[in-house]
Chains A and B, each alone.
Chain A
Amino acid sequence: MIAELGLAALWMAAALAALQLAAGFLAARQDDAEIAILVRPAAVVQGVLCAFAFAMLVWLFARTDLSVKLVAMNSHSDKPLVFKLAGAWGNHEGSMLLWVTVMSAAGALIALVERRLPDRTMQATLAAQGFVALGFYAFLLFSSNPFERLPIPALEGNGLNPLLQDIGLAFHPPTLYLGYVGLSVAFSFAVGALLTRQVTPDFARAMRPWVLGAWIFLTVGITAGSYWAYYELGWGGWWFWDPVENASLMPWLAATALLHSASVLAARDALRAWTIMLGVVAFSMSMVGTFLVRSGILTSVHAFAVDPERGTFILVLLAIYIGGALAVFGLRAGSVAEGGKFEAVSREGALVINNVLLSAILGVVLLGTLYPLLTEAMGVRVSVGPPYFDPVGAIFVVPMLLVMLVGPLLRWRQDRLARVRRSAIIGMVAVLAGLLLAIALGAGVLPTLGIALGAGLAVASVLPLKGRRLRRVPLATRGMVTAHLGIAVALLGMASESAFSEERLAAIKVGQQASVGPWQVTLAAVDPVAGPNWTALEGVMLASYDGGAPIELHPQARSFWSPPQETTESALATRWNGQLYAVLGKAADGERWQVRLWWKPFVTLIWYGGLLVALGGLLALLGRVRDDLRRRYVTRKAAERREAAA
């Protein structure tokens, strides 16, 4: 009954999406007030129904209802409750339902709160949102029904991939989806504004919180995913240029560019066509990401759906939406004037360079990700990995970071480099100091560049606060400073990890010692332990930093039984200046055990940096929303006063 309720709600939500599309389109074309009043309620009810359907699915997983195919395939009665719940979206159908749920909830929210845009643009936007949602409802209902029943209920479920039974990963997909789907709102805004040719600063202001929100979630999702890979895969790597990782990086790059160009549009009424284009590209990257992960075209931990029919379906959706949006763009872009003028040396000028370079980086990642798939289709398998992405990416990243040093210091419209000369010199001194330090420590070429530019950016990023009273600095500016500082911090972490990590592989008996960097690690014991659905060998390691008091570490080698799989649970000892990473391997000859130890100086800066970037986004979002609310309050008061006067 629960499954049927969910399915019925999903069908009704799809019907409302169709209504939203038709009514929104007609209203935007004919300015018909009677049809127009349908649009917003349709979006709201659609959101509620879809959320209801998703809640039903979570409930089925919570109860482990084994008569539902999806539950039987992906859950198990022995699983801890939190992973039962997370299992609802840890599979193809459930995650697509989550995607549509977030999307329709976002549509409902804009229908409820957005009052700034002209009515026609708003209706066109909601029509576009309904159009995109409709495609995904069709996908769910026709090829990925999450509520399908089994003819005979299963006796026990298949379980969830043990690698995914981790609290970090349980919440990793929803976070990324919030990001992906937030960009669908930016896409709808872009299409709506393009259809009614009203690409205005107000449009940028309406779109910006959505882009910011999506961008924050993507940042957190990527940061968390990277940390998960780091501690769960057991070899200390934190980024692999895996297509699935790239699938989340590409929308982030596009959203970063969009965020900056929307700021130019909001503040200066310039870069209109470019902003629209990026809005289309950003969501396209979300769809490409979804296609890569969901189609099974990559065989990877994330690609659970091995079914070409679904891949084709997503590809068709992708072609319709992106092709459609680009066609509208091609037809209308000419009639959208470029807007405000500015000089090369100006805030806009720096942001244009940033935008172009970010787009080029996006192009490199896209090429490196898709090209191997293309050659594979032609029968030639090639691998594209760090030796390609690192140097080729650096060609574009280095100039972008250099522009980042001075860009935020420049004035809008027109400025002179001479005015920011002193700040630029401070930044360059920091770059030079970093460069000398890295060379003295013997880092490689790319890490040296990373340390030099990271040091320069860390200093330069806070310079916009110089000479200002901190309490009077707008939240959005503080957000920008925080986010730029976060980039610098993450960059320093990456460079340090890659240049100064030390590795120690050893086969030792219980009671023996191994050392790595400044750490001495004693294997005190190896004990069997058991969890709810696994058993493990747990090492007890006593790790002492530079002869200090020892810390106890408990790395595990786990064996899951449903489905059977072995995983390593690394143990980490975090200090301010880095992390000790310990893994218990297999038994070596006789009584000896394989242990793997790494000392990774300042590695944690990578994720602290990521979190700072997200925090910066949050500050900016709060600042923008507060300004909006204040403006709304002021206009309402003014209107009331006028009414009272009349």
Chain B
Amino acid sequence: MRALAGLLLVLAALPLAAQDAMPPAPYAYRQLEDPALEARAQGLMETLRCLKCQSQSIADSDAPMAGDMRHQVRTRIAAGEDPEAIREWMMERYGDYVSYAPVVSRTTWPLFAGPLVLLGIAALLIWRRFRRSA
């Protein structure tokens, strides 16, 4: 009985799936022919945030918006654009939030200064410890 109900539900849902069948973004789920270009696109997609998801890149998401963005990335890479130029374009359009690779700016400098300070503290701690004992 349950299986039958399930079957009916799935059948009822099929036309819905068919509506999605003509996606406006063919490269959302299609790879570029040239493996080198695809690898470059993949590398960029993995560092762009899916704005509709929780902590997933556009390379890891089923959200339609992520699909559109993948399409954008792939077609632009295929047209010979530089990945960093595409990232710039994405950031202009969606804000810095879209890029997982923070750049040094007035708001983000502590992200980069922090590890340097940690490195300094680590070196200092180790040096002091062993200078005393030596």
Contacts and interface: CB of A to CB of B under 8 A. Distances in A.
A550 B102 CA distance: 45
A330 interface: no
Contacts, number: 158
Given A240-B55, A240-B56, A341-B133, A503 B21 contact: no
B11 interface: yes
Interface string A514-547: 0000000000000011111001110000000000
Given A342-B133, A363-B114, A587-B18, A384 B102 contact: yes
A235 B59 contact: yes
A275 to B, nearest CB: 14
A383 B6 contact: no
B13 interface: yes
Given A237-B60, A240-B55, A381 B114 contact: no
B54 A300 contact: yes
Contacts of A242: 54-55
Nearest to B110: A371
User: Most B CB atoms within 10 A — which of A368, A587, A590?
Assistant: A587
Interface in B78-134: 95-102, 107-108, 110-111, 114-115, 118-119, 121-122, 125-126, 129-130, 133-134
Contact of A360 (B31, B108, B119): B119
A367 B55 contact: no
Contacts of B60: 233, 235, 237, 240
A301 B47 CA distance: 20
A342 B126 CA distance: 13
Contacts of A503: 31, 42
Contacts of B111: 367-368, 371, 384, 388
B49 interface: yes
A380 B108 CA distance: 10
Interface string B43-59: 00011010000111101
B110 A364 contact: no
7 contacts: A375-B107, A385-B101, A507-B29, A530-B9, A531-B6, A568-B62, A588-B21
A360 to B, nearest CB: 4
Contact of B107 (A378, A504, A507, A589): A378
Contacts of A368: 111
Contacts of A349: 130
Contacts of B30: 505, 507
B57 A385 contact: yes
A632 interface: no
B97 A385 contact: no
Interface in B1-31: 2-3, 5-7, 9-11, 13-14, 17-18, 20-22, 29-31
B110 to A, nearest CB: 6
User: Most B CB atoms within 10 A — which of A349, A383, A504, A535?
Assistant: A383
B10 A528 contact: yes
A382 B31 CA distance: 29
Contacts of A341: 133
Nearest to A594: B29
B54 A504 contact: no
Contacts of A594: 29
Interface string A589-631: 1100010100000000000000000000000000000000000
Contacts of B102: 382-384, 388
A352 interface: yes
B75 interface: no
B101 A388 contact: yes
Interface in A347-364: 349, 352-353, 356-357, 359-360, 363-364
B15 to A, nearest CB: 10
Nearest to A352: B129
A11 to B, nearest CB: 36
B61 interface: yes
A235 B7 contact: no
A343 interface: yes
B46 A386 contact: yes
A143 interface: no
A245 B66 CA distance: 22
Contacts of A531: 6
A133 to B, nearest CB: 32
A301 B96 contact: no
